[in-house]
Amino acid sequence: MKTLVRGPRYIAIEILCRWEESHQPLDYLTEQCFAAMAPEDARDRQLSISLVYGVIRRRTYLDWVLDRFSSHPLAKMKNRTLQALRVGLFQLLFLDRIPSSAAVNETVQALKDMKQPKWLTGFVNGMLRTMERQRNNIPCPSKSKGLIPEAAFLNHPEWLIQRWKDRYGKNQAVALCEANNTQAHLCLRVNTSLSTPSALQEKLEAAGLDVELGNFSPVAIKIADYHGTVDAIPGFSEGLFQVQDEAAQLVSLLLAPLKPGYTYLDGCAGLGGKTSHLAQMMPAGSILEASEPHSGRVKKLRENLVRLRLEKTVTIVEGTIESLLPARKGKYHGMLIDAPCSGLGVIRRHPDIRWNRNPGDLQRYQEMQSALLGAAADLLAPAGTLVYATCSLEPEENEVVVQKFLENHPRFMVSDCRESLPESCDSLVDSAGFFRTMPGRDDLDGFFAAKLLKMQN
């Protein structure tokens, strides 16, 4: 099928319409739309992404503003009309580098290109121009908390706001929501099989990038205010780094110490972020296997390992960890289970997650996570190490899962995560020995991990 080249606002509106109707992951919908109507300029691609992510991060606030100016109820608007208004308003209020005339004209033109009726494009044009004229009188979220309803200021579902208030208190809950509404810095994990943190830092600085070493992970480099594509960063094609938040990097360290001659398994490999980290840590003579049941993710896992020059270090098993039984029972000396979860700890990188989840999802994920740990217990050798991790903040997916597992598997015990992490990470481990990070407190993605040891008898 022939690719139709469309403008960035056209693509942004289309992605948002598809997301509103399907609530599929934004990454998937963005890739789908770019394939069908790819903009020629990389800057247009980045603008499309900025518009989509910005609108979803500020959706409740944008709707509060729109409702103040619209004589027509937002709930009765057509999806495409509402998404166009959100895209236009987001540019007016949050993207200073875009002239207001371009924000209005190009958004209206996108609707015209979509063959929307003249009365509708006129309605959107009129609303955007009215809001542009009144822009200085619209309360800004960062400066006018008292003038904006809490839900509009925090931009999270009510059930999630209340849940976090009950657990953390109002101040910490607000800080968490505010952190989720900002764009996280880009963080790289240096591929130490090919480079060093200092060498990659020097290479990036020579290219004019504003970089600094990580605060917690010994192989992390942070890039400030980067708006380009990842593959344009020097060293990408040579495999010198993998994009990965520091919190995720620290999870892999929990499997240490890795020993020569031992066999390890990444039981939920996905695209290979933690798989490739383990691969670059593997001592000579050890074996690393990676299990992943989804064929599309297996393909990208292989591609990532090839780019990082680590493909010979990992054996990929296409299947679930349950499918490894009974043939591999007791085979692995160390296992990482980075379990499927709600993802409520990585909202700042995946803002759509907040709107895609409901309280009932937590129980569904818990059942899946418990099943994975049960299979992992059988696959692990005596005296082996099992690391259980999620990118969730919710106890139902974290300590509750671990507690139930320990009740059903008395041969396992919790090991203090501090013993496997640098001293700089002491504050990230709680009194029970669990690893926990949180946006708004640590400037990290929200992760949980438990290190479990299987006794000999």
Nearest-5° Cα angle at 323, 447 to 270: 35
Could you tell me which residues come within 8 angstroms of residue 55 by beta carbon, excluding any fewer than 6 positions away?
A: 12, 16, 62, 83, 86, 87, 90
- The amino acid present at 187, given as its one-letter code, is C
* Two tokens, residue 325: 């039984």
State the DSSP code for 75. Answer: G
Structure tokens given for 181: 């509404």
What's the chain's Rg over C-alpha atoms? Answer: 24
- The gap from C-alpha 366 to its chain's centroid, in whole angstroms, comes to 20
Amino acid identity at 17:
C
How far is 403 from 373, CA to CA, in rounded Å? Answer: 12
Q: Residue 17 catalytic?
A: no
CA distance 338 to 295: 18
Give dist(CA 136, CA 86) in Å, integer.
18
Residue 447 contacts residue 251 (beta carbons within 8 Å): yes
Residue 132 corresponds to which amino acid? Answer: E
**Residue partners of 248: CB distance under 8 A and separation at least 6:** 273, 274, 391, 445, 447
Catalytic hit among 177, 391, 417, 425: 391
Please tell me the distance from the alpha carbon of residue 447 to that of residue 244, in angstroms, as a whole number. 13
Number of helical (H) and strand (E) elements in the chain, helices listed first? 17, 12
Q: What is the largest CA-CA distance in the chain?
A: 76
Question: Helix or strand or coil: residue 332?
Answer: strand
Q: Which of 172, 180, 136, 183 is nearest to 154 (CA)?
A: 180
**3-state DSSP helix/strand/coil percent for the chain, to nearest 5?**
50, 15, 35
**Neighbour count for residue 73 (Cβ, 10 Å):** 8
CB atoms within 10 A of CB 95: 16
Full strand arrangement of the beta sheet holding 241-243? 211-213, 220-223, 186-190, 241-243
| Residues marked as catalytic | 391
